[in-house]
């Protein structure tokens, strides 16, 4: 009898691996019936990851989106699944245990069946509560292995993690090959070992197309006993994203597996609607490079979804690196040359930082360190001259145990800075906070929502939720969209709002310092005047000299570092945005005179 392999459509991840935003709820509801009519999916990834946060960023209620988006699949008997980051849940930084537990209750009540939980370091301690909370909420717990290729990431290493996850009660295991660098035969051996040792455990494979291994990997894991395979649909398949369902379905069918047929009329409708959403507004945030595969990813192991943001980082740093190279008599680098240099620097940095799997947020940490090394070396400074606070947290073990050994030079640098290394359970560093957020809801006069879902959003994404409730988020999004459309020559149909900057009166500040020139934040994120400080200091102080066109600080965004560049030379006479402060795009962060 032929063995059946089932497909999951990763519609959410298709978009996240392509650009910044997800479709609006009205668009999702339109495409759901066509996805169902394709007839080939037993599962659809509907939410999780950045889905909720992205909805808040453009001023929409994510709870409404999840409920409406999952409902048609339930009615059709198709399971829905979400992605969450273990200790970090749905955000980039650690989350208290009580907020994590509420997340699973809320998402189950909203219609999500399966919780795919991963830890970027593969520290099983960070997944223990995810497994327990998911099962307690009545969800299927799918614990994920963050797949990468390194000397320490052996089959034995991953099986050691699997043993713990099964002990905790995980129902399923996912091989999360987020960069698509898992070698096909290695993945097959891992699947085979899991199925032999734990035949009752369902195994799902998730692999990106970026470096080109994905089709071979899917065939190999199918032959080794995989139960589910994640696929995408055009126009967002291939490139740095995921293989298309048609190719994988036909390949497996030819190899003798039982797979469901694809209703091509429905496929074309999904394809057409997805393109319509891109043309409507989502395409403005999709980098064209994400439609291309590249074997350069094999060596550095960076996930394909990072390529767009990485190129933006390189463009931002290009001027500063070239200026330093000119001063030091070195030849300037074009963007392609810098990209290759960065890939090589990531290869150099990665083992020295203990081989963290290159997945959010650790891929950003390694890439940022490599980028700052390029800048330092262009200035004749040593590598690791600047390491940001979050990367130091990873190095110190605050987020979990690194898979490999830190290089001696990194350990020595930490000791020089007086940093301590941590071995305790990372969750113990983050006490419960729900009572505090319940009181905030009460103080604001806000209802906690059905199944406490509004309370959850505040506790998980406080800043973004407040911006959503105030209307500022929608104003910012509309203004950004208007700018994109104007640059593309599209007639402006949005009335541009006035976005008030938070926490201080800009007019009063400028009036207080006549003749001063404002320095503005280039993007939304966290101010890092000094990248390698260990605490939220107020550097730089008033009186610090700055030079026109040269970065005097950075904004750490969700995708990487953006330079803060003053328009004139002079001295800082006011710094209203302190180190570590969250800022919005174009916010005045300093004054120069």
* 15 within some domain: yes
How many domains is the chain built from?
3
- Domain containing 519 — which CATH number? 2.40.50.100
* 465 within some domain: no
* 445 within some domain: no
Of 290, 317, 334, which closes a domain? 290
Q: Are residues 272 and 208 in the same domain?
A: yes
Task: Report the alpha-carbon distance of residue 142 to residue 117 in Å, rounded.
Answer: 6
Find out whether 523 and 585 touch, Cβ atoms under 8 Å. Answer: yes
| Phi, psi for 187 (deg, rounded to 5) | -60, -40
Q: Is the dihedral of CA 319, 324, 327, 328 positive or negative?
A: negative
Task: Report the alpha-carbon distance of residue 114 to residue 103 in Å, rounded.
Answer: 13
Scan for tokens 């069918």, then name that residue: 253
Q: Are residues 413 and 557 in the same domain?
A: no
Q: Write out the two tokens for 391.
A: 């990367």
Pairing of strands 561-564, 553-556: antiparallel
* 480 within some domain: no
Residue 209: partners with Cβ closer than 8 Å, 6 or more residues away: 180, 237, 238, 239, 240, 241, 242, 243, 293, 304
Q: Are residues 280 and 360 in the same domain?
A: no
Q: Are residues 405 and 422 in the same domain?
A: yes
| Model pLDDT, residue 421 | 94
Residue 160: partners with Cβ closer than 8 Å, 6 or more residues away: none
- Give alpha helix (H) positions in 328-449: 335-352, 362-378, 389-396, 408-416, 434-444
For the range 215-220, what are the long-range contacts, defined as Cβ-Cβ under 8 Å and sequence gap of 24 or more?
Answer: 215/243, 215/247, 215/248, 215/251, 216/184, 217/177, 217/180, 217/182, 217/183, 217/184, 217/187, 218/243, 218/248, 218/251, 218/252, 219/184, 219/251, 219/252, 219/255, 220/184, 220/185, 220/187, 220/188
- Domain containing 55 — which CATH number? 3.20.20.70
| Secondary structure element (H or E) that encloses residue 43, with its range | strand 41-48
Domain span holding position 585: 506-592
| Model pLDDT, residue 136 | 98
pTM of the model: 0.82
In residues, how long is the chain? 593
Cα-Cα-Cα-Cα dihedral of 57, 59, 61, 62, to 10°?
-20
* 542 within some domain: yes
Task: Report the alpha-carbon distance of residue 549 to residue 42 in Å, rounded.
Answer: 54
Of 400, 427, 454, which closes a domain? 427
Find out whether 240 and 17 touch, Cβ atoms under 8 Å. Answer: yes
* 455 within some domain: no
Find out whether 188 and 150 touch, Cβ atoms under 8 Å. Answer: no
CA 303 from chain centre, in angstroms, equals: 10
Q: Are residues 113 and 227 in the same domain?
A: yes
* 462 within some domain: no
What string of pLDDT tens digits covers the 593 residues of the chain?
689 999 999 999 999 888 889 999 999 999 999 999 999 999 999 999 889 999 999 999 999 999 999 999 999 999 999 999 999 999 988 999 999 999 999 999 999 999 999 999 999 999 999 999 999 999 999 999 999 999 999 999 999 999 999 999 999 999 999 999 999 999 999 999 999 999 999 999 999 999 999 999 999 999 999 999 999 999 999 999 999 999 999 999 999 999 999 999 999 999 999 999 999 999 998 888 788 888 888 887 877 666 656 766 777 677 778 777 777 788 888 888 888 888 899 999 999 999 999 888 898 889 889 988 988 888 888 999 888 888 999 999 999 999 999 999 999 999 999 999 999 999 999 999 999 999 999 999 999 999 999 999 999 999 899 999 999 999 999 998 998 898 888 765 544 433 333 444 445 555 566 667 778 888 778 888 875 544 545 567 667 888 877 888 888 775 567 788 887 788 887 788 878 788 877 677 888 88
What is the per-residue DSSP string for 383-412? TTS---HHHHHHHHTTT---SSPPPHHHHH
| Model pLDDT, residue 521 | 84
Q: Are residues 301 and 195 in the same domain?
A: no
Q: Are residues 264 and 344 in the same domain?
A: no
Of 246, 268, 290, which closes a domain? 290
Q: Are residues 27 and 173 in the same domain?
A: yes
Q: Are residues 184 and 316 in the same domain?
A: no
Find out whether 409 and 417 touch, Cβ atoms under 8 Å. Answer: no
Task: Report the alpha-carbon distance of residue 278 to residue 39 in Å, rounded.
Answer: 24
Q: Are residues 241 and 301 in the same domain?
A: no
Q: Is 478 helix (H, G, I), strand (E, B) or coil?
A: helix
Q: Are residues 418 and 356 in the same domain?
A: yes
State the DSSP code for 491. P
* 83 within some domain: yes
State the DSSP code for 143. E
Q: Write out the two tokens for 407.
A: 């290089």
Q: Are residues 358 and 224 in the same domain?
A: no
């Amino acid at each position: 009898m032929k063995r059946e392999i089932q497909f999951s459509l990763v519609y959410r991840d298709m978009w996240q691996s392509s650009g910044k935003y997800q479709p609006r709820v009205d668009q999702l509801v339109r495409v759901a019936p066509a996805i169902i009519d394709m007839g080939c999916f037993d599962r659809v990834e509907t939410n999780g990851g950045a889905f909720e946060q992205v909805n808040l960023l453009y001023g929409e209620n994510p709870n409404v989106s999840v409920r409406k988006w999952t409902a048609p699949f339930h009615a059709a008997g198709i399971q829905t699944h979400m992605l969450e980051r273990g200790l970090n849940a749905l955000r980039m930084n650690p989350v208290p245990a009580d907020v994590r537990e509420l997340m699973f209750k809320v998402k189950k009540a909203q219609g999500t069946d399966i919780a795919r939980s991963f830890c970027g370091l593969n520290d099983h301690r960070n997944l223990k509560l995810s497994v327990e909370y998911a099962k307690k909420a009545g969800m299927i717990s799918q614990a994920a292995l963050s797949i990468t290729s390194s000397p320490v990431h052996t089959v034995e290493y991953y099986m050691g993690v699997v043993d713990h996850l099964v002990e905790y009660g995980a129902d399923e295991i996912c091989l999360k090959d987020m960069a698509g660098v898992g070698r096909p035969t290695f993945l097959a051996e891992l699947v085979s070992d899991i199925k032999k040792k734990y035949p009752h455990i369902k195994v799902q494979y998730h692999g990106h197309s970026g470096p080109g291994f994905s089709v071979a990997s899917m065939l190999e894991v199918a032959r080794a006993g995989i139960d589910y395979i994640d696929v995408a649909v055009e126009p967002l398949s291939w490139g740095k994203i995921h293989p298309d369902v048609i190719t994988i379905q036909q390949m497996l069918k030819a190899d003798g597996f039982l797979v469901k047929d694809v209703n091509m009329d429905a496929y074309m409708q999904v394809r057409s609607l997805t393109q319509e959403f891109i043309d409507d507004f989502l395409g403005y945030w999709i980098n064209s490079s994400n439609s291309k595969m590249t074997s350069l990813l094999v060596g550095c192991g960076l996930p394909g979804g990072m390529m767009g943001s990485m190129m933006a980082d390189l463009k931002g740093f290009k001027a500063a690196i070239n200026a330093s190279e000119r001063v030091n008599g070195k030849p300037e680098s074009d963007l392609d040359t810098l990209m290759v240099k960065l890939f090589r620097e990531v290869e150099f940095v990665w083992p020295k930082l203990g081989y963290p799997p290159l997945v959010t947020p650790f891929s950003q940490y390694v890439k940022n360190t490599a980028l700052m090394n390029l800048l330092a070396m262009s200035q004749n400074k040593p590598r690791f001259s600047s390491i940001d606070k979050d990367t130091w947290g990873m190095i110190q073990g605050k987020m979990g145990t690194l898979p490999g050994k830190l290089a001696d030079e990194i350990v020595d640098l930490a000791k020089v800075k007086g940093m301590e290394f941590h071995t305790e359970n990372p969750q113990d560093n983050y006490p419960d906070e729900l009572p505090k957020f319940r009181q905030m809801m009460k103080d604001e006069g806000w209802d906690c929502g059905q199944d406490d879902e509004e309370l959850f959003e505040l506790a998980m994404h406080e800043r973004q939720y407040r911006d959503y409730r105030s209307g500022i988020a929608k104003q910012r999004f509309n203004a950004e969209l208007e700018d994109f459309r104007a640059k593309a020559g599209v007639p402006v149909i949005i009335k541009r709002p006035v976005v008030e900057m938070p926490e201080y009166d800009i007019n009063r500040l400028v009036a207080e310092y006549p003749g001063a020139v404002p320095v503005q934040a280039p993007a939304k994120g966290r101010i890092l005047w000094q990248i390698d400080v260990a605490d939220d200091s107020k550097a730089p102080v008033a009186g610090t000299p700055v030079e026109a066109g040269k970065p005097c600080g950075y904004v750490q965004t969700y995708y990487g570092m953006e330079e803060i560049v003053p328009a004139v030379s002079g001295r800082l006479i006011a710094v209203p945005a302190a180190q570590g402060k969250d800022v919005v795009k174009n916010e005045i962060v300093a004054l120069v005179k």
